[in-house]
Amino acid sequence: MSEFLDFLTHKYAYVAIGEFQPGKFAEAQRLYEKAVSTYTKGFKGAYLLQKPGTDEGIAVIMWDKIDDMQDNISESYKAILQEMNPLFQTHPNTSFYEVCSEITPE
C-alpha cells in the first residue's frame, strides 16, 4: 500500500519570475547556482531560464514538500540572497505550484 501512496504524492515547484539590472544576468546565475548548491533535504532539482537577449528569467526549484524549502534556509543561503538582491531590476514575483503532471523520456 505504501508504494501506491508514494505514487500519489506530488512534488512542489517554487517559481520566481524576475528581471535583473542590465548586464547582470550572468552574475545572478552564478549566485543562483551557489544558493541552490546549499540545498539538501527534499530538494529535487532546479532550473534557471533566461529569455533570449534579455535580463529576464524564471527560476524553478523542485521540492518534495513546500516546507522543505524553508528547512533549507541557512545562514550561507541568506548571505547569497543578500548579495543577489541588488541585481534585480524589480522584486521578483514568486509562487509555489503543485506538480500535477511529470513526463520524462523513457
- Give per-residue burial for 64-95: e unless 16+ CB within 10 Å, then b: eeeebbeebeeeebeebeeebeebbeeebeee
**How high is the pLDDT of residue 10?**
87
* Other beta carbons less than 10 A from residue 38's beta carbon: 16
**How high is the pLDDT of residue 3?**
57
**How high is the pLDDT of residue 83?**
97
Q: What residue segments make up the domains of the chain, in order of their start?
A: 19-98
| Whether domain 19-98 has CATH 3.30.70.100 | yes
Mean pLDDT of successive 10-residue stretches along the chain, which has 106 residues = 60 97 98 97 97 98 95 95 96 96 89
